[in-house]
Chain A
Amino acid sequence: MDEARHALEPATGDDPWRLALRRLRANRVAIGFGALFAVLLALSLAAPLWAHVAGTTPSRNHLADTIVIDGQRRDVVTEDRVPIGPTWRAKYFLGADGNGRDVAVRLLYGARNSLFIGITATLISVLLAVMLGLLAGYLRGWVDAVVSRALDVVWAFPVLLLGIALGVALARDGLRLGPLSISGGSKWIPTLIIGVVGAVYLARPLRGLVLSLREQDFVEAARAQGAGPLRIMLGELLPNLASTILVFVPLLVANAILLEGALSFLGAGVRPPDPSWGTMIGDGVALLTSAPHLMIVPGVMLVATVLALNVLGDGVRAALDPRAKVRVGR
């Protein structure tokens, strides 16, 4: 209904960005979920503060510790490795995990890792996709053929399998590419993997868009004025891709967080002892029935974040281009 109303809005001569912002503001659901994402982001930034209140760190083990609750002394982890559940107090607010680590503290630090990877990987995806889309779409010919086939190959490969294969292969010895050297346990390994894989989703539509834009009069005019390919790509075409990129960004971030969660769950993403929602869910599997909070808590956070980003992304799309259809993920 919102979309229909926006489509019927009379042309007012406003700046299109301002118009989009006004449309987005009117979309209360999207704004609500955007606010939820902002809260999650703020919580993740406050992780050290909460760790200070709880008196621990995300990787500190408290296997043999005890805690007094309602006057009763209880083991943080029982001898048969059942961790304490939520206490709703500063210490072990959301319970402990199998190694006696504070779940709330790990959850917030996990949010930092998941969001860092999600956002950074998306930036890498955008950078790569813009580069490939512009080159393939504008230069065409053999450049387009090579880029398109490369994208087809990555597109055809199951994303999760590709991620696992790369993650496992790089985890042991790290990545060394000329001057670039990343150790096997670094967060940059899953970030790069997800960034490269995610680029495909954006590069293909951008290439299509550039193919149509390069035939437009304004590009022809720039060419007639003696502008070179680089100047045309960056000065004339890139600004026209901005709205498409903006529509994709929240969806790419959501997809990247999901993929990071899946890779970490399978042991090919964030490395211990660093927490991420995926590793936390993975660690909780063995104690599913005796300590369900270990899976539920990070699972809820993951769902909430991805949902918030997807709804926000949908709102951004509706605001920028109500007729566009966008899909990320397979």
Chain B
Amino acid sequence: MHWTLRGPACALVASIAVGLAACGEREQNNSGEIRAAVTSFPDSLDPALAYTGEALQALWVVYTPLLSYAHAEGVAGTQIVPGLARALPKISADGKTYRLRLRKGLKYSDGRAVKASDFEHSVKRILNLESADTSYFERIVGAGAYLQSGRVRGDISGIETDDRTGAITISLEEPYGSFSNVLAMTFGAVVPGDTPFENQTKRPPPGVGAYKLANVRVNRGFELVKAAGFDVGDMPRARLDTISIEVVKNRGRQTQSVIRNELDYMTDPPAPDQLRSVRDRFAGKRYREFVTNSTYFFFLNHRLQPFSKKAVRQAVNYALDERALVRVFGGLLEPSCNFLPPRLAGYEKIEPCTYGDPDAPPDLGRARQLVKQAGAEGEEVTVYGTEEPEAKGAAEYFADVLSQIGLKGSPRIIPAANYYATIGNRKTRAQAGFANYFQDFARATTFFSIVDGAAIADTNSTNFGNIDDPQIDAALARADRNPRAAAVAKDYAAVDRRLLEEAHLVPYGHRELSVFFSDRIDFDECTAWHPVYNLDYTSLCLK
């Protein structure tokens, strides 16, 4: 533990007797080391590839992109702010050209200077490594030609950089209003121009951030070490010297370790059978729950019986009991009939809910009637879900609901590792199933991308229900051209309403996650929950 003393008198006392901290005001401890646990090792620690929550939470404070999100809680945290760029981009009138300029004197954590051309190299890595979000960068002029050429050191004509002035100009094939959000993702982080074109998880490249990665032991853990000399605009500096993150697969063990102060923080919620005890003992003192920007829903395949009929889809919506699903998630779900989560431009709470109050029993009678009218009685429906307790419980519940309204529902539980590839494959002919989506970035576009007709594909489709609604597609196309999300909020709200009116899917809530800390952490002052990247590691400090 470290104490800071104020005032000359105290300085004198401190110089005489170290540890005599009787005078002076107690302050947050701006140093020290803490131990945190994750249930699984991040999918990657290479900014071009990392996609899972565990990875992004850590990488956000290691690799500052050209733009970033404000280090703030709530809606304020969804605001895009300049990162390595001096200011927000200047966007041309046609919405196709983004001009930025790097801040002066930027240095990577290894001391090398940041060059504007490093950005083009970073984009080349994203394209070559086929990262999860490659498609966002394929919108850049020349990205397709670059990939086709097969020359990794080739040129992307749509990116022009000037190392002398730090100017970066990006040209897009078509206007894409969310491109500033794309530049604020850790994917868009700038890495040195000599970073190899391969996964660098074992030896992550240096970044510009409050922390740097160290001591990476794949599948076992890694460390975030305070980066000396980090000074980028209003970006907060690291308070702690080291955050040691270990993989502890058993959430029960993690919970016990945090309770006993052997671990300082766990990223996942406590184990289900310990949740009640943790809530009772530590809520408001060491434990808090937060609603994430996520959406949980059941997809209904429009191209297959019986969900090709709107009446059956409506019946399912009438029959669903959100109160039941809240229990499946152990209370860590905010029930909602909106597909879009709160805190995003375009969110307008649908009230009253189209298919009944989420806090009241469902209208099973009406649902049965609709199924009967549609002539779908007795039709078999396979409901897909994963082995994870919540997804399995939800799929089993949903299959039972279908059986209660006259269909024959049966769950099919498959491993989580290849779940989305399976249901996104046309040959699987998945009729219905569990699905969720966590934001790629803080704009409605990212959520609606999975209900856009353009997302339908034979393999790896993200539009699992094959929703192909011209009205939705047109509204999204219009809204997605505008860089100002607030200006097209009405369009997004209309899409959200239409999804429900047409019963295109069955949304039921937004996931809540939690933070649980040891006694050592200053819970009241130093535990900021960011709406995009979850826990803000730069906020952490010891008591």
Interface string of A171-193 (1 = CB under 8 A from B): 11000000000001100000000
Provide the residues of chain A in CB contact with B271, threshold 8 Å. Answer: 286
- Evaluate contact between A185 and B410: CB separation under 8 angstroms: yes
B324 touches A291 (CB 8 A): no
Using A98-B393, A99-B396 as known contacts, say yes or no to A61 and B324 having CB atoms under 8 A apart.
Answer: yes
Cα A289 to Cα B277 in complex, Å, equals 11
Which chain A positions have C-beta within 8 A of B330? 79-81
Residues from chain B with a CB closer than 8 A to the CB of A291 are 273
**With A63-B328, A64-B324, A78-B327: A286-B389 Cβ-Cβ less than 8 Å:** yes
Contact of A290 among B273, B328, B404 (CB under 8 A): B273
A288 contacts the other chain (CB 8 A) = yes
Contact between B400 and A273 (Cβ–Cβ < 8 Å)?
yes
Q: Are A99 and B397 in contact (CB under 8 A)?
A: yes
Q: Which residues of B contact A289 (CB under 8 A)?
A: 273-274
Q: B321, A80: Cβ atoms under 8 Å?
A: no
Cα distance, A215 to B387, chains bound together (Å)? 55
State the CA gap A98–B327 with chains docked (Å): 8
**A290 contact set on B, CB distance < 8 A:** 272-274, 276
Is B158 positioned at the interface, with any CB of A under 8 Å from its CB? no
Query: Does B273 lie within 8 Å of A286, measured CB to CB?
Result: yes
Complex contact B272–A271 (CB within 8 A):
no
Q: Name the prevailing secondary structure of the B interface residues.
A: helix
- Residue ID in chain A nearest B271 by CB atoms: A286
Give, as a whole number of angstroms, the nearest-CB distance from A324 to chain B: 43
B275 within 8 A of A: yes
Q: Let me know if A80 and B397 touch, CB within 8 A.
A: no
Given contacts A59-B400, A272-B396, contact A81 B272 (CB under 8 A): yes
CB nearest neighbor in A for B275: A80
B366 within 8 A of A: no
Closest to A59 in B: B400
A9-61, CB < 8 A from B: 59-61
Which B residues are in CB contact (< 8 Å) with A271?
411-413
Q: Chain B: interface residue count, which band?
A: 35 or more
Cβ-defined contact, A272 with B413, below 8 A: yes
Q: Does A127 have its Cβ within 8 Å of any Cβ on chain B?
A: no
Question: Which chain B residue lies CB-closest to A184?
Answer: B412
Query: In the complex the two chains form, what is the Cα distance from A81 to B328 in whole Å?
Result: 6
Q: A77-B327, A80-B330, A271-B413 are in contact. Are A61 and B397 (CB under 8 A)?
A: yes
Q: Mark A274-297, 1 if CB is under 8 A from B, else 0.
A: 000000000000111111000000
Question: Does chain B have a CB within 8 A of A322?
Answer: no
Q: Do A273 and B399 have beta carbons less than 8 Å apart?
A: yes
- Total residues of chain A contacting the partner, CB 8 A: 29
- B279 at the binding interface (Cβ < 8 Å): yes
Q: Are B392 and A272 in contact (CB under 8 A)?
A: yes
Interface residues of B in 387-422 (CB under 8 A from A): 387, 389, 392-393, 395-397, 399-401, 403-404, 410-415, 422
| Contact call B323/A80, Cβ cutoff below 8 A | no
Q: Does B184 contact A (CB under 8 A)?
A: no
Complex formed: what's the CA distance from A184 to B382 in Å? 12
User: Cβ of A172 and Cβ of B397 under 8 Å apart?
Assistant: no
Q: Give the Cβ gap from B249 to chain A, nearest Cβ, in Å.
A: 14
Collect the chain A residues with CB atoms within 8 Å of residue B276's CB.
Answer: 78, 80, 82, 290
Contact between A64 and B361, CB atoms less than 8 A apart: yes
Q: Is the CB of B396 within 8 A of A61?
A: yes
Establish whether residues B273 and A60, one from each chain, have CB atoms under 8 Å apart when the complex forms: no
Q: Using Cβ atoms and an 8 Å threshold, which residues of chain B touch A81? A: 272, 275, 327-331
Residue B515 interfacial (CB < 8 Å) = no
Q: Is A86 part of the contact surface with B, judged by Cβ < 8 Å?
A: no
Does B326 have its Cβ within 8 Å of any Cβ on chain A? yes
> What's the nearest-Cβ distance from chain B to residue A159, in Å?
21
Q: Other than the known A98-B389, A286-B273, what 19 A-B pairs have Cβ atoms closer than 8 Å?
A: A59-B396, A61-B396, A61-B397, A63-B324, A63-B328, A80-B279, A82-B273, A98-B393, A168-B415, A171-B414, A185-B410, A185-B412, A267-B387, A267-B413, A272-B395, A272-B411, A273-B400, A287-B273, A289-B273
CB pairs A–B below 8 angstroms (17 shown): A61-B396, A63-B324, A63-B327, A63-B328, A63-B397, A79-B326, A80-B275, A81-B330, A98-B389, A100-B327, A185-B410, A271-B412, A272-B411, A273-B396, A273-B400, A273-B411, A286-B389
Q: Give 10 nearest A-B pairs by CB, closest first.
A: A63-B324, A290-B273, A64-B323, A81-B330, A79-B331, A289-B273, A64-B324, A61-B400, A80-B331, A287-B273
